[in-house]
Amino acid sequence: MRARPAYTVPLPHKSPLQLGARTLVMGIINVTPDSFADGGLHFEVEKAIAAGVQMAADGADIVDVGGESTRPGADPLPADEEMRRVLPVVEGLAARIAVPISIDTYKAAVAREAVARGAEIINDISGLRYEPALGRVAAETGAALVLMHTRGRSREMYDLAVYQDAPGEVADELRKAIACAEETGVARDAIIVDPGLGFAKRAEHSYSVLAGLDRLAELDRPILVGPSRKSFLKRALGDRDPAERDWGTAAAVAASILLGAHIVRVHDVPSMVDVVRVADLIRSGGRQP
């Protein structure tokens, strides 16, 4: 098994992320009425804050807050409404948890305000394709920046899911996203990459990209993988609702870790923390990370 490289990712409000010795768990808080996996569950501010506090208590290393559903076919959300949803949650969590907070947005204005209220990581599902100015926000605030691979917007992404070599093409397109980020002033040390399972990828492409995750190691940046409850799991599990895909998620999380992921993004934090601990021990040959 290939050794997982170690990285130190600086953060603006907290100690740097130390990546490599063990896998970090990113818990998902969707402050939306229409998320594919848990729409409406955390739509109220106090419920969202309480859920984030519980995730941190359950072992999440990062809490990721998002206010816009980016599932395939979703409509864009105006920035002012997105800020209305997420900023009170970010601010409330920053006062109550010690782990870093990530803001899941592709909008520069939302990211800037979220970092000002305590977020340390900007998680951009577009890889700077939608708003390149987001890179300047990361550079100016010192926030870490997750660049996820996708093609097109939500309503057209499946039309663009055409690949000859999915792992190689994803790696090449993420390499361009890294270059774009660096051109806006983002320090290379602040960048994390995400292959974007399920985004502009049909099920076979997501499995191919996951199996070829070592191709992303060529980029020399830490890798985040988010397989949680996504529709590509139906190819193996059948037509189950998202909440019934956690065992499939567990398999994909374990595979991600064994193939080199540094961070996994999940909904069910307590169960996936167990999966991560076992997979990390397998990676290390039984030595405690």
Confidence of residue 32 (pLDDT cuts 50, 70, 90): confident
What pTM value is reported for the model? 0.95
CA neighbours closer than 13 Å in the CB half-sphere of residue 167:
14
pLDDT at 4 exceeding the cut of 70: yes
Distance CA 136, CA 128 (A): 10
Q: Identify the weakest region by mean pLDDT among 7-21, 36-50, 191-205, 253-267.
A: 36-50
pLDDT at residue 40 greater than cutoff 80: no
Q: Which residues, in sequence order, are CB contacts of 57 under 8 Å at separation 6+?
A: none
User: Is 2 one of the annotated active-site residues of the chain?
Assistant: no
Q: Which of 27-41, 73-87, 97-111, 238-252 has the lowest mean pLDDT?
A: 27-41
Q: Please give the full DSSP string across 37-61, using - where no structure is assigned.
A: TTTTTT-SHHHHHHHHHHHHHTT-S
Q: What is the pLDDT of residue 39?
A: 54
Give 172-223 pLDDT, tens digit per residue: 999 999 999 999 999 999 999 999 999 999 999 999 999 999 999 999 999 9
pLDDT at 76: 83
Of 216 and 39, which is predicted with more confidence? Answer: 216
Give me the mean pLDDT over the 244-269 stretch. Answer: 97
Q: Over the range 188-205, which residues count as b (16 or more CB within 10 Å of their CB) and which as e?
A: eebbbbbbbbbbbbbbeb
* pLDDT, averaged across the chain: 94
> What would the mean pLDDT of 72-99 be, rounded to a whole number?
92
What are the residues facing 216 on neighbouring strands? none
Say whether pLDDT at 34 is over 90: no
Residue 245 pLDDT greater than 90, yes or no:
yes
Instruction: Tell me if residue 14 is catalytic.
Output: no
**Chain-centroid distance, C-alpha 24:** 11
Percentage of residues in the chain having pLDDT higher than 70:
95
| Residue among 112, 245, 265, 283 flagged as catalytic | 265
- 155 pLDDT band (50/70/90 cuts)? confident
DSSP element (H, E) containing 72 = none
Half-sphere exposure of 77 (CA within 13 A, CB side): 26
In the chain the first and final C-alpha atoms are separated, in Å, by 16
Marked catalytic residue, from 230, 234, 240, 245: 230
The predicted-structure confidence for 91-119, as pLDDT tens digits, reads as follows 999 999 999 999 999 999 999 999 999 99
DSSP 160-214: G---SSHHHHHHHHHHHHHHHHHHTT--GGGEEEE--TTSS--HHHHHHHHHTGG
7-283: CATH superfamily: Dihydropteroate synthase-like (3.20.20.20)
Instruction: Specify the pLDDT at position 156.
Output: 84
- Taking phi over 0 as left and psi of -120 to 50 as alpha, with beta for the rest, 64 belongs to beta
| Residue 289 pLDDT | 73
